[in-house]
Structure 1
Amino acid sequence: MRALLSIDYTNDFVATDGKLTTGKAGQAIETELVDLTKKYFEHGDFVVFAIDGHDPNDQYHPENKLFPPHNVIGTSGRKLYGSLADFYQGNQSAETIYWLDKRHYSAFSGTDLDIRLRERGITELCLTGVCTDICVLHTAVDAYNLGYQLMIPEQAVASFDPTGHAWALTHFKNTLGATII
């Protein structure tokens, strides 16, 4: 069984005026990311939207010291970007769609993601979204450590750091045994 994780493909991470945007790199993957999401959904696979949710007043959260406020709960910056938002709006009530609020880089950290995947018998994960070298990377490392097989579509992940993006793709393949397509 397999699942697709769509990680942080939100206005703040992708829109030109996003608070912590990948800009053109993130915008360039929209078609591939949405097409893959639709294919997984139409096949009946589990589709997870793993989305950062932050409170800029949380003095204990380390990201508030590292980055400008982004994906703030209750703001338009936290909404899905572009045609992915349209897809989600039209299908959010489907039992194979799951919105996962996350506070940390990894979609597994402090969430019920592993339980949700295991109760469905899922062993293979396709990771899409942004940022390749931050949230996608940390999610991939945790997934690897939990025994999941990984697939990373190169045209459906992006970063604001081209060097970090390239490094992460190599790391996925050579260190985590991921299939890069």
Structure 2
Amino acid sequence: MKKAILIIDYTNDFVDDKGALTCGAPGQAIDTEIAKLANFFLANHDYIIFPTDLHKKNDPYHPETKLFPPHNLANTWGHQLFGSVGTWFNLHKNDDEVYFYDKNRYSSFANTNLENFLRTHHIEELYLTGVCTDICVLHTAIDAYNKNFKITIPQNAVASFNQTGHEWALDHFKNSLGATII
């Protein structure tokens, strides 16, 4: 069975202390683990996918404009990948197994080509990592479940700025979506 790891929204705006909507220390603590997982997937010729939040400042048509401060704006430092994950990406971005794309909703599937990419590459199992556990990782997991993908969540590779939401989402992944938590 072919696998892919999704490294969701691991950007400066969501992880760095100076980020516009940072989860701070919890997000920074998973940096090394995500890079290690990316190396593992690459060594096994599986796919490493980077669904990355992208917005326009004060977009009147986007619902997040009313919920959050401007973040992950096009062509900004905030939209760039954080830390060792960003370094890893810069070294491997041209590898055949690496796929980066921008998204404009919580779910990595909404308004994107992700499902088509997964189906055409015969990928059936998804490992979900990144931030935020209870927002974009959660919505991606729900869509993956509804599309019949097998889901694995490495719990030391997801984080949120809301610890209660993070713990709730981990429980939800296991008990409502049948995900494997490792």
Q: Give the TM-score normalised by the residue count of structure 1.
A: 0.99
Q: Secondary structure at the match of 1:140?
A: helix
The number of residues matched between the two structures is: 181
For 1:63 and 1:37, how far apart are their aligned partners in 2? 29
Q: Secondary structure at the match of 2:110?
A: coil
* 1:13 and 2:38 correspond: no
Answer whether contact 2:58 2:70 (CA < 8 A) is retained: no
Deviating above 2 A after TM superposition, structure 1's stretches of 4 or more consecutive aligned residues are none
Q: Secondary structure at the match of 2:71?
A: coil
2:76 aligned partner, one-letter code: T
User: Match for residue 166 of structure 1?
Assistant: 167
Q: Secondary structure at the match of 1:3?
A: strand
The C-alpha deviation readout for 1:60-97, integer Å capped at 9, x for no partner, is 10001100000001100000000111111111011110
User: Match for residue 145 of structure 1?
Assistant: 146
Of all paired residues, the percent bearing the same amino acid is 54
Gaps of 5+ in 2: none
* 1:44 and 2:50 correspond: no
* 1:81 and 2:82 correspond: yes
For 1:100 and 1:39, how far apart are their aligned partners in 2? 21
Pairwise CA distance, 1:35: 0.5
1:169 aligned partner, one-letter code: L
User: Match for residue 27 of structure 1?
Assistant: 28
Q: Secondary structure at the match of 2:123?
A: coil
User: Match for residue 137 of structure 2?
Assistant: 136
Pairwise CA distance, 1:38: 1.1
Pairwise CA distance, 1:57: 3.1
1:69-148 to structure 2, matched below 5 A, reads 69-148=70-149
RMSD: 0.6
For 1:160 and 1:86, how far apart are their aligned partners in 2? 23
Answer whether contact 2:13 2:22 (CA < 8 A) is retained: yes
